[in-house]
Structure 1
Amino acid sequence: MSEKITAETRTEFGKGAARRIRRDNKVPAVIYGHGNDPVHVTLPGHATMMAIKHGGANALLELDIDGKTQLALTKQVQVDPIKRHLEHIDFVAVVKGERVTIDVPVHLNGEAARETLVVTETATIQLEAEATHIPEYIEVDIEGLEAGTQIHASDLKLPSGSVLLLDPETLVVNITEMQSQEALDAELEEAEAEAGIERDESDNDVDEVGAEDSADESTEASASE
Protein backbone atom coordinates (compact mmCIF):
# COMPACT_ATOMS: atom_id res chain seq x y z
CA MET A 1 0.00 0.00 0.00
CA SER A 2 1.16 3.54 -0.70
CA GLU A 3 1.71 6.15 1.99
CA LYS A 4 -0.03 9.51 1.44
CA ILE A 5 2.24 12.55 1.74
CA THR A 6 1.51 16.19 0.94
CA ALA A 7 4.30 17.68 -1.17
CA GLU A 8 5.12 21.26 -2.15
CA THR A 9 6.64 22.25 -5.46
CA ARG A 10 9.92 24.13 -5.13
CA THR A 11 11.68 26.62 -7.34
CA GLU A 12 14.86 27.17 -5.29
CA PHE A 13 17.77 24.86 -5.96
CA GLY A 14 21.37 24.42 -4.86
CA LYS A 15 23.06 23.59 -1.56
CA GLY A 16 21.92 26.78 0.17
CA ALA A 17 18.27 26.16 -0.67
CA ALA A 18 18.58 22.52 0.42
CA ARG A 19 20.04 23.55 3.79
CA ARG A 20 17.16 25.99 4.36
CA ILE A 21 14.65 23.25 3.54
CA ARG A 22 16.27 20.84 6.02
CA ARG A 23 16.37 23.51 8.75
CA ASP A 24 12.57 23.62 8.43
CA ASN A 25 12.48 19.83 9.05
CA LYS A 26 11.62 19.16 5.42
CA VAL A 27 13.25 17.08 2.68
CA PRO A 28 14.13 18.11 -0.90
CA ALA A 29 13.18 15.51 -3.51
CA VAL A 30 12.97 14.98 -7.27
CA ILE A 31 10.49 12.87 -9.24
CA TYR A 32 11.66 11.41 -12.56
CA GLY A 33 9.97 9.28 -15.18
CA HIS A 34 7.40 8.82 -17.95
CA GLY A 35 9.23 11.16 -20.29
CA ASN A 36 8.33 14.23 -18.25
CA ASP A 37 10.66 16.89 -16.94
CA PRO A 38 11.88 16.23 -13.39
CA VAL A 39 9.52 17.56 -10.73
CA HIS A 40 11.23 19.17 -7.74
CA VAL A 41 9.30 19.00 -4.48
CA THR A 42 9.66 19.48 -0.74
CA LEU A 43 8.33 16.83 1.65
CA PRO A 44 7.60 16.89 5.41
CA GLY A 45 10.64 15.34 7.12
CA HIS A 46 9.13 13.18 9.86
CA ALA A 47 6.17 11.88 7.85
CA THR A 48 8.43 10.99 4.93
CA MET A 49 10.96 9.24 7.17
CA MET A 50 8.21 7.12 8.73
CA ALA A 51 6.73 6.27 5.31
CA ILE A 52 10.11 5.10 4.00
CA LYS A 53 10.79 3.07 7.15
CA HIS A 54 7.40 1.40 6.78
CA GLY A 55 7.75 0.75 3.04
CA GLY A 56 11.35 -0.39 3.11
CA ALA A 57 13.82 -0.12 0.23
CA ASN A 58 11.02 0.17 -2.35
CA ALA A 59 8.62 2.46 -0.52
CA LEU A 60 5.69 3.65 -2.63
CA LEU A 61 4.40 7.12 -1.77
CA GLU A 62 1.20 8.77 -2.93
CA LEU A 63 2.26 12.39 -3.28
CA ASP A 64 -0.32 15.19 -3.27
CA ILE A 65 1.31 17.90 -5.38
CA ASP A 66 -0.77 21.06 -5.73
CA GLY A 67 -3.96 19.02 -5.55
CA LYS A 68 -2.82 16.36 -8.02
CA THR A 69 -1.90 12.82 -6.98
CA GLN A 70 1.31 11.19 -8.17
CA LEU A 71 2.48 7.70 -7.23
CA ALA A 72 6.24 7.74 -6.66
CA LEU A 73 8.60 4.83 -6.03
CA THR A 74 11.77 5.53 -4.03
CA LYS A 75 14.97 4.87 -6.00
CA GLN A 76 17.67 6.62 -4.01
CA VAL A 77 17.56 7.91 -0.44
CA GLN A 78 20.38 10.02 0.98
CA VAL A 79 20.68 10.02 4.78
CA ASP A 80 23.00 12.13 6.93
CA PRO A 81 25.58 9.64 8.29
CA ILE A 82 25.73 11.34 11.72
CA LYS A 83 22.35 12.94 12.40
CA ARG A 84 20.49 10.20 10.45
CA HIS A 85 17.94 12.60 8.97
CA LEU A 86 16.86 12.48 5.32
CA GLU A 87 18.91 14.72 3.06
CA HIS A 88 17.46 14.04 -0.40
CA ILE A 89 15.23 11.53 -2.18
CA ASP A 90 15.01 10.50 -5.83
CA PHE A 91 11.66 9.05 -6.94
CA VAL A 92 10.43 7.38 -10.11
CA ALA A 93 6.89 8.27 -11.17
CA VAL A 94 4.63 5.22 -11.61
CA VAL A 95 0.97 4.57 -12.36
CA LYS A 96 -1.42 1.91 -11.12
CA GLY A 97 -1.10 -1.28 -13.15
CA GLU A 98 2.43 -0.47 -14.29
CA ARG A 99 5.03 -3.20 -13.75
CA VAL A 100 8.42 -2.20 -12.43
CA THR A 101 11.78 -3.88 -11.85
CA ILE A 102 12.94 -3.78 -8.23
CA ASP A 103 15.51 -5.36 -5.90
CA VAL A 104 13.85 -6.88 -2.83
CA PRO A 105 15.85 -7.84 0.29
CA VAL A 106 15.93 -11.41 1.63
CA HIS A 107 14.80 -11.99 5.23
CA LEU A 108 15.62 -15.26 7.02
CA ASN A 109 12.98 -16.70 9.32
CA GLY A 110 13.73 -19.24 12.08
CA GLU A 111 16.92 -21.01 13.12
CA ALA A 112 18.75 -23.80 11.33
CA ALA A 113 19.80 -26.99 13.10
CA ARG A 114 22.45 -26.82 15.83
CA GLU A 115 26.11 -26.62 14.90
CA THR A 116 25.38 -25.20 11.45
CA LEU A 117 26.55 -22.03 9.75
CA VAL A 118 23.97 -20.06 7.74
CA VAL A 119 25.35 -17.88 4.94
CA THR A 120 23.18 -15.53 2.89
CA GLU A 121 24.88 -15.72 -0.50
CA THR A 122 22.41 -13.37 -2.26
CA ALA A 123 21.03 -10.55 -0.10
CA THR A 124 18.57 -9.09 -2.64
CA ILE A 125 16.34 -10.65 -5.28
CA GLN A 126 15.49 -8.88 -8.53
CA LEU A 127 11.80 -9.07 -9.36
CA GLU A 128 9.24 -7.62 -11.69
CA ALA A 129 6.08 -6.63 -9.86
CA GLU A 130 3.05 -4.40 -10.18
CA ALA A 131 3.92 -0.94 -8.84
CA THR A 132 1.24 -0.97 -6.16
CA HIS A 133 1.99 -4.55 -5.02
CA ILE A 134 5.72 -4.51 -4.34
CA PRO A 135 6.78 -6.90 -1.57
CA GLU A 136 8.75 -5.33 1.27
CA TYR A 137 10.98 -8.42 1.47
CA ILE A 138 11.19 -12.10 0.47
CA GLU A 139 10.97 -14.40 3.46
CA VAL A 140 13.05 -17.58 3.54
CA ASP A 141 12.20 -20.19 6.20
CA ILE A 142 15.33 -21.93 7.53
CA GLU A 143 13.81 -23.41 10.69
CA GLY A 144 15.51 -26.71 11.54
CA LEU A 145 17.36 -27.04 8.22
CA GLU A 146 20.39 -29.31 8.36
CA ALA A 147 23.95 -28.78 7.11
CA GLY A 148 24.19 -29.34 3.37
CA THR A 149 20.91 -27.57 2.59
CA GLN A 150 21.04 -25.04 -0.22
CA ILE A 151 18.23 -22.69 -1.18
CA HIS A 152 18.26 -21.36 -4.74
CA ALA A 153 16.28 -18.55 -6.32
CA SER A 154 13.94 -21.11 -7.89
CA ASP A 155 13.02 -22.35 -4.37
CA LEU A 156 11.73 -18.97 -3.18
CA LYS A 157 8.04 -18.39 -2.56
CA LEU A 158 7.21 -15.19 -4.42
CA PRO A 159 4.13 -13.04 -3.84
CA SER A 160 1.33 -13.42 -6.36
CA GLY A 161 2.02 -11.38 -9.48
CA SER A 162 5.76 -11.15 -8.92
CA VAL A 163 8.15 -12.58 -11.53
CA LEU A 164 11.70 -13.68 -10.77
CA LEU A 165 14.29 -11.93 -12.95
CA LEU A 166 17.28 -13.58 -11.31
CA ASP A 167 18.86 -16.77 -12.67
CA PRO A 168 16.82 -19.57 -11.01
CA GLU A 169 20.05 -21.44 -10.16
CA THR A 170 21.41 -18.50 -8.14
CA LEU A 171 22.38 -19.65 -4.65
CA VAL A 172 20.52 -17.59 -2.05
CA VAL A 173 21.15 -19.37 1.26
CA ASN A 174 23.84 -21.95 2.01
CA ILE A 175 23.78 -23.98 5.24
CA THR A 176 27.02 -25.72 6.13
CA GLU A 177 28.44 -27.56 9.11
CA MET A 178 30.02 -25.28 11.69
CA GLN A 179 33.74 -25.93 11.91
CA SER A 180 35.59 -26.36 15.18
CA GLN A 181 38.60 -24.20 16.02
CA GLU A 182 40.83 -27.25 15.55
CA ALA A 183 39.50 -27.78 12.03
CA LEU A 184 40.00 -24.11 11.20
CA ASP A 185 43.58 -24.24 12.49
CA ALA A 186 44.23 -27.36 10.41
CA GLU A 187 42.89 -25.68 7.28
CA LEU A 188 45.06 -22.63 7.97
CA GLU A 189 48.17 -24.78 8.36
CA GLU A 190 47.36 -26.66 5.15
CA ALA A 191 46.84 -23.40 3.25
CA GLU A 192 50.12 -22.03 4.60
CA ALA A 193 51.91 -25.22 3.56
CA GLU A 194 50.48 -25.03 0.04
CA ALA A 195 51.55 -21.40 -0.18
CA GLY A 196 55.05 -22.28 1.00
CA ILE A 197 54.73 -20.30 4.24
CA GLU A 198 56.81 -21.61 7.12
CA ARG A 199 56.09 -20.61 10.67
CA ASP A 200 59.01 -19.11 12.61
CA GLU A 201 59.72 -21.44 15.52
CA SER A 202 61.08 -18.50 17.53
CA ASP A 203 57.64 -16.92 17.43
CA ASN A 204 56.16 -20.03 18.98
CA ASP A 205 58.91 -19.99 21.63
CA VAL A 206 58.14 -16.35 22.42
CA ASP A 207 54.45 -17.16 22.83
CA GLU A 208 55.28 -20.04 25.19
CA VAL A 209 57.66 -17.88 27.24
CA GLY A 210 55.07 -15.14 27.43
CA ALA A 211 52.48 -17.60 28.68
CA GLU A 212 54.91 -18.95 31.30
CA ASP A 213 55.82 -15.41 32.46
CA SER A 214 52.14 -14.55 32.85
CA ALA A 215 51.59 -17.68 34.90
CA ASP A 216 54.61 -16.87 37.12
CA GLU A 217 53.41 -13.28 37.68
CA SER A 218 49.99 -14.55 38.63
CA THR A 219 51.53 -17.01 41.13
CA GLU A 220 53.73 -14.30 42.69
CA ALA A 221 50.77 -11.94 43.02
CA SER A 222 48.76 -14.62 44.81
CA ALA A 223 51.65 -15.37 47.17
CA SER A 224 52.12 -11.67 48.08
CA GLU A 225 48.47 -11.41 49.02
Structure 2
Amino acid sequence: MAEKITAEMRTEFGKGAARRIRRADKIPAVVYGHGNDPIHLTLPGHDTMMALKHGGANALLELDIDGTTQLALTKQVQVDPIRRVLEHVDFVAVRQGEKVTVDVPVHVTGDAAPDTLVVTENATVQVEAEATHIPERIEISIEGAAIGTQIHASDLVLPEGTTLLNDPEMLIVNVTQQQSAEALESELADAEADAGIVHEETDEAADAAEGESADGAAEAGDAAEGDSAE
Protein backbone atom coordinates (compact mmCIF):
# COMPACT_ATOMS: atom_id res chain seq x y z
CA MET A 1 0.00 0.00 0.00
CA ALA A 2 1.39 3.38 -1.03
CA GLU A 3 2.15 5.87 1.72
CA LYS A 4 0.85 9.40 1.17
CA ILE A 5 3.37 12.24 1.06
CA THR A 6 2.65 15.92 0.40
CA ALA A 7 5.21 17.27 -2.07
CA GLU A 8 6.12 20.78 -3.20
CA MET A 9 7.19 21.79 -6.68
CA ARG A 10 10.85 22.79 -6.75
CA THR A 11 11.92 25.85 -8.70
CA GLU A 12 15.49 26.29 -7.40
CA PHE A 13 18.26 24.02 -8.63
CA GLY A 14 21.95 23.49 -8.07
CA LYS A 15 24.07 22.47 -5.08
CA GLY A 16 23.34 25.64 -3.12
CA ALA A 17 19.59 25.19 -3.46
CA ALA A 18 19.86 21.51 -2.50
CA ARG A 19 21.80 22.43 0.65
CA ARG A 20 19.15 24.96 1.65
CA ILE A 21 16.43 22.34 1.15
CA ARG A 22 18.26 19.83 3.36
CA ARG A 23 18.90 22.42 6.07
CA ALA A 24 15.12 22.88 6.23
CA ASP A 25 14.77 19.12 6.91
CA LYS A 26 13.45 18.49 3.41
CA ILE A 27 14.67 16.29 0.54
CA PRO A 28 15.09 17.17 -3.15
CA ALA A 29 13.54 14.57 -5.46
CA VAL A 30 12.71 13.93 -9.13
CA VAL A 31 9.89 11.91 -10.71
CA TYR A 32 10.56 10.47 -14.19
CA GLY A 33 8.45 8.42 -16.55
CA HIS A 34 5.52 8.05 -18.96
CA GLY A 35 7.19 10.28 -21.51
CA ASN A 36 6.65 13.40 -19.40
CA ASP A 37 9.23 15.97 -18.42
CA PRO A 38 10.91 15.24 -15.07
CA ILE A 39 9.01 16.65 -12.08
CA HIS A 40 11.35 18.29 -9.57
CA LEU A 41 10.01 18.15 -6.02
CA THR A 42 10.78 18.90 -2.40
CA LEU A 43 9.64 16.25 0.10
CA PRO A 44 9.28 16.41 3.91
CA GLY A 45 12.43 14.82 5.37
CA HIS A 46 11.12 12.73 8.27
CA ASP A 47 7.92 11.52 6.58
CA THR A 48 9.80 10.51 3.44
CA MET A 49 12.51 8.71 5.40
CA MET A 50 9.89 6.69 7.32
CA ALA A 51 7.94 5.87 4.14
CA LEU A 52 11.08 4.57 2.42
CA LYS A 53 12.02 2.59 5.53
CA HIS A 54 8.58 0.95 5.68
CA GLY A 55 8.36 0.30 1.95
CA GLY A 56 11.80 -1.22 1.50
CA ALA A 57 13.90 -1.15 -1.66
CA ASN A 58 10.85 -0.70 -3.92
CA ALA A 59 8.82 1.71 -1.79
CA LEU A 60 5.70 3.04 -3.51
CA LEU A 61 4.61 6.55 -2.52
CA GLU A 62 1.43 8.43 -3.29
CA LEU A 63 2.64 11.97 -3.88
CA ASP A 64 0.22 14.86 -3.50
CA ILE A 65 1.59 17.51 -5.90
CA ASP A 66 -0.46 20.72 -5.78
CA GLY A 67 -3.64 18.72 -5.30
CA THR A 68 -2.81 16.13 -7.98
CA THR A 69 -2.01 12.55 -6.94
CA GLN A 70 0.92 10.72 -8.54
CA LEU A 71 2.01 7.17 -7.75
CA ALA A 72 5.82 7.05 -7.63
CA LEU A 73 8.04 3.98 -7.39
CA THR A 74 11.42 4.46 -5.69
CA LYS A 75 14.34 3.79 -8.05
CA GLN A 76 17.41 5.39 -6.46
CA VAL A 77 18.12 6.82 -3.02
CA GLN A 78 21.25 8.85 -2.32
CA VAL A 79 22.42 8.75 1.30
CA ASP A 80 25.19 10.78 2.91
CA PRO A 81 27.92 8.20 3.71
CA ILE A 82 28.94 9.95 6.93
CA ARG A 83 25.74 11.33 8.44
CA ARG A 84 23.49 8.62 6.93
CA VAL A 85 20.77 11.10 5.98
CA LEU A 86 18.79 11.19 2.73
CA GLU A 87 20.24 13.54 0.13
CA HIS A 88 18.16 12.89 -2.97
CA VAL A 89 15.51 10.45 -4.26
CA ASP A 90 14.68 9.42 -7.83
CA PHE A 91 11.20 8.04 -8.57
CA VAL A 92 9.48 6.53 -11.60
CA ALA A 93 5.87 7.52 -12.23
CA VAL A 94 3.52 4.51 -12.32
CA ARG A 95 -0.23 3.93 -12.69
CA GLN A 96 -2.69 1.74 -10.82
CA GLY A 97 -2.51 -1.79 -12.27
CA GLU A 98 0.62 -1.09 -14.30
CA LYS A 99 3.22 -3.89 -14.46
CA VAL A 100 6.77 -2.96 -13.48
CA THR A 101 10.12 -4.79 -13.39
CA VAL A 102 11.93 -4.66 -10.05
CA ASP A 103 14.63 -6.43 -8.06
CA VAL A 104 13.25 -7.95 -4.86
CA PRO A 105 15.51 -8.98 -1.96
CA VAL A 106 15.65 -12.61 -0.87
CA HIS A 107 15.38 -13.26 2.89
CA VAL A 108 16.72 -16.56 4.27
CA THR A 109 14.99 -17.91 7.39
CA GLY A 110 15.59 -20.89 9.69
CA ASP A 111 18.71 -22.86 10.59
CA ALA A 112 20.30 -25.52 8.41
CA ALA A 113 21.55 -28.85 9.80
CA PRO A 114 24.62 -28.84 12.10
CA ASP A 115 28.09 -28.51 10.55
CA THR A 116 26.77 -26.80 7.41
CA LEU A 117 27.68 -23.53 5.73
CA VAL A 118 24.84 -21.58 4.11
CA VAL A 119 25.94 -19.43 1.16
CA THR A 120 23.54 -16.94 -0.44
CA GLU A 121 24.65 -16.91 -4.06
CA ASN A 122 22.12 -14.28 -5.20
CA ALA A 123 20.57 -11.84 -2.72
CA THR A 124 17.88 -10.51 -5.10
CA VAL A 125 15.66 -11.80 -7.89
CA GLN A 126 14.13 -9.84 -10.74
CA VAL A 127 10.36 -10.06 -11.06
CA GLU A 128 7.46 -8.44 -12.84
CA ALA A 129 4.58 -7.35 -10.65
CA GLU A 130 1.82 -4.77 -10.42
CA ALA A 131 3.20 -1.48 -9.15
CA THR A 132 0.77 -1.56 -6.21
CA HIS A 133 1.51 -5.20 -5.33
CA ILE A 134 5.30 -5.44 -5.32
CA PRO A 135 6.49 -7.95 -2.69
CA GLU A 136 8.75 -6.32 -0.11
CA ARG A 137 10.87 -9.49 0.02
CA ILE A 138 10.74 -13.17 -0.85
CA GLU A 139 11.44 -15.59 1.99
CA ILE A 140 13.31 -18.90 1.73
CA SER A 141 13.30 -21.40 4.59
CA ILE A 142 16.44 -23.50 5.09
CA GLU A 143 15.24 -25.05 8.35
CA GLY A 144 17.02 -28.40 8.75
CA ALA A 145 18.57 -28.25 5.27
CA ALA A 146 21.25 -30.90 4.82
CA ILE A 147 24.66 -30.64 3.15
CA GLY A 148 24.19 -30.53 -0.62
CA THR A 149 20.87 -28.69 -0.52
CA GLN A 150 20.52 -26.15 -3.33
CA ILE A 151 17.67 -23.71 -3.80
CA HIS A 152 17.18 -22.31 -7.31
CA ALA A 153 15.07 -19.43 -8.55
CA SER A 154 12.43 -21.90 -9.73
CA ASP A 155 12.02 -23.11 -6.11
CA LEU A 156 10.89 -19.69 -4.86
CA VAL A 157 7.27 -19.25 -3.87
CA LEU A 158 6.17 -15.98 -5.45
CA PRO A 159 3.02 -14.04 -4.54
CA GLU A 160 0.08 -14.31 -6.92
CA GLY A 161 0.49 -11.97 -9.87
CA THR A 162 4.31 -11.89 -9.59
CA THR A 163 6.36 -13.40 -12.42
CA LEU A 164 10.01 -14.48 -12.18
CA LEU A 165 12.24 -12.94 -14.87
CA ASN A 166 15.54 -14.61 -13.93
CA ASP A 167 16.77 -17.94 -15.29
CA PRO A 168 14.84 -20.60 -13.30
CA GLU A 169 18.13 -22.47 -12.77
CA MET A 170 19.84 -19.46 -11.13
CA LEU A 171 21.28 -20.62 -7.80
CA ILE A 172 19.94 -18.68 -4.83
CA VAL A 173 21.16 -20.61 -1.77
CA ASN A 174 23.81 -23.33 -1.51
CA VAL A 175 24.24 -25.45 1.65
CA THR A 176 27.74 -26.95 1.91
CA GLN A 177 30.02 -28.66 4.42
CA GLN A 178 31.29 -26.30 7.11
CA GLN A 179 35.08 -26.11 7.13
CA SER A 180 37.08 -26.54 10.31
CA ALA A 181 39.28 -23.73 11.61
CA GLU A 182 42.36 -25.78 10.74
CA ALA A 183 41.21 -26.23 7.14
CA LEU A 184 40.49 -22.52 6.79
CA GLU A 185 43.91 -21.61 8.18
CA SER A 186 45.55 -24.08 5.79
CA GLU A 187 43.68 -22.64 2.79
CA LEU A 188 44.62 -19.12 3.85
CA ALA A 189 48.28 -20.08 4.23
CA ASP A 190 48.28 -21.74 0.78
CA ALA A 191 46.62 -18.70 -0.80
CA GLU A 192 49.12 -16.34 0.83
CA ALA A 193 52.01 -18.53 -0.32
CA ASP A 194 50.67 -18.53 -3.90
CA ALA A 195 50.36 -14.75 -3.75
CA GLY A 196 53.90 -14.39 -2.37
CA ILE A 197 52.73 -12.84 0.90
CA VAL A 198 55.31 -13.05 3.69
CA HIS A 199 54.33 -12.00 7.21
CA GLU A 200 56.83 -10.05 9.30
CA GLU A 201 57.85 -11.78 12.50
CA THR A 202 56.12 -10.27 15.52
CA ASP A 203 58.06 -9.08 18.57
CA GLU A 204 56.63 -11.93 20.64
CA ALA A 205 57.66 -14.52 18.04
CA ALA A 206 61.13 -12.97 17.81
CA ASP A 207 61.50 -12.99 21.61
CA ALA A 208 60.39 -16.63 21.72
CA ALA A 209 62.87 -17.56 18.99
CA GLU A 210 65.68 -15.74 20.81
CA GLY A 211 64.73 -17.50 24.03
CA GLU A 212 64.80 -20.88 22.35
CA SER A 213 68.14 -20.04 20.76
CA ALA A 214 69.58 -18.95 24.11
CA ASP A 215 68.25 -22.09 25.82
CA GLY A 216 69.82 -24.23 23.10
CA ALA A 217 73.15 -22.46 23.42
CA ALA A 218 73.09 -22.89 27.22
CA GLU A 219 72.33 -26.59 26.92
CA ALA A 220 75.13 -26.99 24.41
CA GLY A 221 77.52 -25.17 26.76
CA ASP A 222 76.54 -27.36 29.71
CA ALA A 223 77.09 -30.45 27.62
CA ALA A 224 80.50 -29.23 26.53
CA GLU A 225 81.53 -28.51 30.14
CA GLY A 226 80.38 -31.97 31.15
CA ASP A 227 82.47 -33.59 28.43
CA SER A 228 85.49 -31.52 29.45
CA ALA A 229 85.10 -32.49 33.10
CA GLU A 230 85.03 -36.15 32.21
1:122 counterpart SS class: coil
How is 1:1-225 mapped onto 2 (pairs within 5 angstroms)? 1-187=1-187, 207=205, 210=208, 213=211
Runs (4+) of structure 1 moved beyond 6 Å?
Answer: 189-193
Taking only aligned residues, the RMSD between alpha carbons, in angstroms, comes to 2.6
Tell me by how many angstroms 1:131 deviates. Answer: 0.3
Q: Normalising to structure 2: TM-score of the pair?
A: 0.83
Please give the alpha-carbon distance, in whole angstroms, between the structure 2 residues aligned to 1:96 and 1:41.
Answer: 21
Amino acid paired to 2:208? G
Task: Specify the SS of the correspondent of 2:132.
Answer: coil
Return the offset for 1:111.
1.1
Q: Secondary structure at the match of 1:35?
A: coil
3-state DSSP class of the match of 1:146?
coil
Instruction: Kindly provide the CA deviation profile for residues 49-102 of structure 1, in whole angstroms up to 9, marking residues without a partner as x.
Output: 000000000000000000000000000000111211110000000001100000
Relative distance call for 1:210 and 1:59 in structure 2 (3 A) is same
Percent identity of equivalent pairs: 71
Aligned CA distance change for structure 1 residues 119 and 211 (closer, same or farther; 3 Å): farther
| Structure 1 pair 180–38 and aligned structure 2 pair: CA distance change class (3 A) | same
Q: Which moved more, 1:1-10 or 1:175-184?
A: 175-184
Distance 1:137 1:167 in 2: 18
Residue 132 of structure 1 aligns to a residue in which SS? Answer: helix
1:125-155 Cα offsets, whole Å, 9 max, x none, are 0000000000111111111111110100000
* Cα distance between partner residues in 1 of 2:35 and 2:27: 24
Q: In structure 2, what is the Cα distance between the partners aligned to 1:30 and 1:185?
A: 50
User: Matches of 2:5 and 2:195 in 1, distance apart?
Assistant: 63
Mean alpha-carbon deviation: is it higher for 177-186 or for 82-91? 177-186
Code of the aligned partner of 1:145: A
Q: TM-score, normalised by structure 1?
A: 0.85
Letter aligned with residue 210 of structure 1? A
Query: Using the alignment, how far apart are the partners of 2:63 and 2:44 within structure 1?
Result: 11
* Structure whose CA Rg is larger: 2
Unpaired segments of 5 or more residues in structure 1? 215-225
Task: Give 1:112 shift.
Answer: 1.0
- Post-superposition CA distance 1:93-116 (Å, at most 9, x none): 000110000001111111111111
Q: 1:63 to 1:207 in 2, by over 3 A?
A: same
Stretches of structure 2 that go unaligned for 5 or more consecutive residues are 213-230
